[in-house]
Amino acid sequence: MIIEPRTRGFICLTAHPKGCEQNVINQINYIKSKGSINGPKNVLVIGASTGFGLASRITSAFGSNASTIGVFLEKPPKPSRPASPGWYNTAAFEKEAQEAGLYAKSINGDAFSNEIKEQTIELIKKDLGQIDLVIYSLASPVRVHPETGVKHKSSLKPIGGSYTNKTVDFHTGDISQISIEPATEEDIENTVTVMGGEDWKFWIDALQKENLLSPEAKTVAYSYIGPKLTEPVYRKGTIGRAKDDLEATAFDITKSLSAINGNAYVSVNKALVTQASSAIPVIPLYISLLYKIMKENNVHEGCIEQMQRLFADRLYNNQEIKTDDKGRIRVDDWEMREDIQAKIKELWDSATTETLGTIGDLEGYSNDFFNLFGFKVDGIDYTQEVNEVVEIPGLQ
Ligand code: NAI
Ligand code: NA
């Protein structure tokens, strides 16, 4: 079949295996070009198939020759329908890892469930013994709680009052006003249940109980802060409450890891186009201005550049890990630079459907969005039929 993008709003229903493979190869080449990192040896990545999690896995494997186990939730291909992009990304990653002589295995299923945790634990026992880095990079709209069976849905709403601001349809470039009604208490609780720290703690507790974490093991989860401009819908909204909870959980986990001298960190990352962030109102407009300004200042990064810097300059730089006054690692430092944010604030007011094409990087946004699904990737001939069924070699 010939695979073309089929978008519905901020999702794309199709994915291209060759484009996804090329994206992974590009990320691997980037990591190799930056030289080796004196990093982890056995790594578990939860949320390993796309975005920051995939980039963390690639950085571990190709920066430090680490053995990696990846957990994710992706759709395999069917005769009539391509797989989800994370499937193709992982297939490509594992193929490259195997060729490089690196151990790489994957588990496809609900990371929030007890079953998937047990399956992962069995695999670690069998193959790796102990893990020295656990990356927690899930982004999910729902979580079935393993103890109650209740399905919680997260939301992206302001708290305390409705919020009106500009947003962009990144397919058309149309800027419009959007108003979002405030969250209920229940919305807040549900979002914290899905995207807060509880499941991260469950994972670490389960691993520790089985003695699967090595002395001085680290675990890292990802958070976001962003500017005042997006606060109502992000950091001071429902998702922000979940991030507050995630950040607080890092301290709980560190305490519980004291016997092995382990540490839990939250790394605050830069705003980037991923499947998760495309769904948040207002953020795509912010990102298209941010991209333009960061590119002009030569400080633009994608997921792989962010993770390379996290590993090489923060986590494994042979010095004490630098954190902010709330104990968080910051790789959003360039995004949050005063001059960058001042410029965005200025452009925000003048952003209209007519001006965005010149003052913002709508094209960069759109291109990155299609790239997530393996489309518009340089060097790929999209007129070619793709017929082979792509398998993940180390899928359990
Ligand atoms: P993403 O959507 O690219 O990746 C999510 C990953 O979670 C995928 O591997 C997916 O398969 C997996 N996943 C989702 N539900 C699952 C489930 N039930 N069981 C197993 N795996 C599941 O998201 P992205 O953007 O990489 O986000 C990762 C983390 O980084 C999130 O905590 C997010 O809030 C954070 N972050 C994202 C930023 C952004 O701008 N995209 C900025 C800063 C932090
Ligand atoms: Na991820």
pLDDT for 111 beyond 90: yes
Cα(72) to ligand 2 centroid in Å equals 9
Q: Whose CA is nearest to atom 30 of ligand 1?
A: 222
pLDDT of the residue at 223 = 98
The best mutation among 57, 69, 73 to test binding of ligand 1, ranked by most ligand atoms within 8 Å of the C-beta, falls on 73
Mean pLDDT computed over 367-389: 95
DSSP tag of 395:
B
Higher pLDDT, 18 or 79: 18
pLDDT of the residue at 80 = 86
CB of 290 closer than 6 angstroms to any ligand 1 atom:
no
pTM of the predicted model as reported, rounded to 2 decimal places: 0.98
pLDDT for 277 beyond 90: no
Instruction: Report d(CA 269, CA 383) in Å as an integer.
Output: 36
ipTM above 0.85, yes or no: yes
Residues, Cβ < 5 Å to ion ligand 2: 47, 51-53, 137
Cα(110) to ligand 2 centroid in Å equals 14
For the CA of 283, the closest atom of ligand 1 is 40
Long-range contacts of 200-205 (CB under 8 A, 24+ apart): 200/136, 200/246, 200/249, 200/253, 200/264, 201/249, 201/252, 201/253, 201/256, 202/117, 202/146, 203/46, 203/111, 203/117, 203/134, 203/136, 204/134, 204/253, 204/256, 204/257, 204/264, 205/256
CB of 274 closer than 6 angstroms to any ligand 1 atom:
yes
pLDDT of the residue at 388 = 82
CB of 224 closer than 6 angstroms to any ligand 1 atom:
yes
Mean pLDDT computed over 219-230: 97
- 354-364 confidence digits (pLDDT tens): 999 999 999 99
Burial 347-380 (b: 16+ CB within 10 A, else e): bbeebeeeebeebbbbebbbebbbbbbbbbbeeb
Q: Among this protein's residues, is 234 annotated catalytic?
A: yes
Name the active-site residue from 88, 136, 234, 316: 234
- 189-200 confidence digits (pLDDT tens): 999 999 999 999
Cα(346) to ligand 2 centroid in Å equals 31
Mean pLDDT computed over 282-297: 96
The best mutation among 72, 288, 304, 331 to test binding of ligand 1, ranked by most ligand atoms within 8 Å of the C-beta, falls on 72
Cα(354) to ligand 2 centroid in Å equals 34
pLDDT for 13 beyond 90: yes
DSSP tag of 307:
H
Query: 276 pLDDT band (50/70/90 cuts)?
Result: confident
CB of 154 closer than 6 angstroms to any ligand 1 atom:
no
pLDDT for 10 beyond 90: no
Mean pLDDT computed over 151-176: 95
Q: From the CA of 89, which ligand is nearest?
A: 1
pLDDT of the residue at 44 = 99
Cα(47) to ligand 2 centroid in Å equals 5
- 119-138 confidence digits (pLDDT tens): 999 999 999 999 999 999 99
Calculate the average pLDDT of the chain: 97
Higher pLDDT, 36 or 280: 36
